[in-house]
Structure 1
């Protein structure tokens, strides 16, 4: 697991799998761990690091959504105070979510030194704009459905961090497992947050961290453009706009991305 972004208050680690990002935020008030990753060796390294830096501060664990690669590490952090959306806590099929982890573990012959558990949620995000204050640290949450049905965005103040979950990546277009209209709503929310000027760092679930507002805006616009072309292809059947889009964006993992695009088109047609 490589550190891809580091400031005095934040470290972002990138996994060897899916280039998935795990974030550790330190303030005087808390240590916040976001999406603890998937590979057992990487999770053990994170656990060791947090034990070294935590001191007497409370440990919070934020889940951006319930995809298998985001929840698999929970069993190593059962001492944390957990945060997630209402749908994550109350509507997601928890048994199926754990089966998804088990399936990937079995296919990759992975063994874990802790029990696989679906994360119970201590602090449930029920409303758009809901806030959580821990000392001088404020977390503000926004509903982020579309990629899947239970995601959230989080803004951390006074640091100006936008934790984006699986949105606005620079290495992948939208993977829409749940709803195109709700995905578009999430992107519109991100667009408003970025345009407001208080977001100084955007951390996607996969890919590169950015401090540049123009790059944040570009990623959101590119995602909206992808939704438009996918909806057009579902009607016309023409693949050429998608191929030009992938080439223009410079996406590297073309075989996997083509399969994801086909799944998106299938969802639209269904």
Structure 2
């Protein structure tokens, strides 16, 4: 929100000295991660080299919907959020100054994570508030979890920063990774069983909505994300079926 971004600008001001580079790292192209870019016009923007302009365009439309629904004013006021001007598209394993970047698709096609000293920043992965949001593909998501796990185990990572909710330290990092795998395994098991039993999509959806995450029911506000995850996994397991077998968007 604009007030939060203004607070960030105030916090950063003492550090904005001529001898320091000013970089804005976008971990992926969802609207809540790109809306702040125009507030930092003097910062150079870094993204994945696989930045998804199509997803960014969808995100801009979602931001317009959000702002008009909740009466939020932005610096541009007229028109739409402009596309991000990307100065540094980073590649997998690329090092830029004190940062090392890793492509971690799955949440989106263009998700990246990066390390700074012993801190690992993972975008929207491994939040304490959310189960995995699989907006790209399950194989990519699982592979990215493996990349993150290897970084934690092999790079002396002591703190993991997710962009939703508090960071994780020490053993809490691996606990979050285990929770993410557990959630994905539960959905995969449900879909595999349904395939063997020739269950309909409606039956699978009803069973999925009774699942728990971290010992709690799926929150009402996150049900749509939960159902999107199920649909993604369902379709990936039924690629050989006629499209009419897929749930409608």
Pick the TM interval, shorter chain.
Answer: 0.7 to 0.9
Using a 3 Å threshold, how does the CA distance of structure 1 residues 95 and 263 change in structure 2: closer, same or farther?
Answer: closer
Using a 3 Å threshold, how does the CA distance of structure 1 residues 226 and 242 change in structure 2: closer, same or farther?
Answer: farther
Please give the alpha-carbon distance, in whole angstroms, between the structure 2 residues aligned to 1:200 and 1:247. 23
Please give the alpha-carbon distance, in whole angstroms, between the structure 1 residues aligned to 2:108 and 2:56. 14
Match of 2:103 among 137, 143, 152: 143
Alpha-carbon contact 1:71-1:118 (below 8 Å) kept? no
Please give the alpha-carbon distance, in whole angstroms, between the structure 2 residues aligned to 1:165 and 1:243. 28
Asked whether 1:203 is paired with 2:167, we answer no
2:26 aligns with 63
> How far off is 1:234 after superposition?
2.5
Please give the alpha-carbon distance, in whole angstroms, between the structure 2 residues aligned to 1:178 and 1:45. 33
Deviations 1:20-44, CA, capped at 9 Å, x for gaps: xxxxxxxxxxxxxxxxxxx011112
Alpha-carbon contact 1:146-1:180 (below 8 Å) kept? yes
TM-score relative to the length of structure 1? 0.75
> How far off is 1:75 after superposition?
0.5
Name the SS of the counterpart of 2:143 in structure 1.
Answer: helix
Count of residue pairs the alignment pairs up: 221
Asked whether 1:227 is paired with 2:184, we answer yes
Please give the alpha-carbon distance, in whole angstroms, between the structure 2 residues aligned to 1:63 and 1:218. 26
> How far off is 1:188 after superposition?
0.3
Per mean C-alpha deviation after superposition, the further-off stretch among 93-102 and 225-234 is 93-102
Name the SS of the counterpart of 2:134 in structure 1.
Answer: coil
Using a 3 Å threshold, how does the CA distance of structure 1 residues 46 and 241 change in structure 2: closer, same or farther?
Answer: same
Using a 3 Å threshold, how does the CA distance of structure 1 residues 232 and 108 change in structure 2: closer, same or farther?
Answer: same
Q: Unmatched 5+ residue regions in structure 1?
A: 1-38
Which structure carries more strand by proportion? 1
Please give the alpha-carbon distance, in whole angstroms, between the structure 2 residues aligned to 1:255 and 1:95. 27
Could you say which structure has the larger radius of gyration?
2
> How far off is 1:240 after superposition?
5.8
Alpha-carbon contact 1:85-1:150 (below 8 Å) kept? yes
2:74 aligns with 112
Using a 3 Å threshold, how does the CA distance of structure 1 residues 247 and 156 change in structure 2: closer, same or farther?
Answer: closer
Please give the alpha-carbon distance, in whole angstroms, between the structure 2 residues aligned to 1:223 and 1:94. 26
Match of 2:175 among 199, 218, 221: 218
Please give the alpha-carbon distance, in whole angstroms, between the structure 2 residues aligned to 1:60 and 1:77. 9
Asked whether 1:161 is paired with 2:161, we answer no
Using a 3 Å threshold, how does the CA distance of structure 1 residues 242 and 187 change in structure 2: closer, same or farther?
Answer: farther
What is the aligned-residue RMSD (CA, Å)? 2.1
Q: Unmatched 5+ residue regions in structure 2?
A: 195-203, 236-249
> How far off is 1:267 after superposition?
1.9
Alpha-carbon contact 1:74-1:117 (below 8 Å) kept? no
Asked whether 1:152 is paired with 2:117, we answer no
Using a 3 Å threshold, how does the CA distance of structure 1 residues 255 and 79 change in structure 2: closer, same or farther?
Answer: same
Alpha-carbon contact 1:230-1:242 (below 8 Å) kept? no
Match of 2:94 among 125, 130, 135: 130
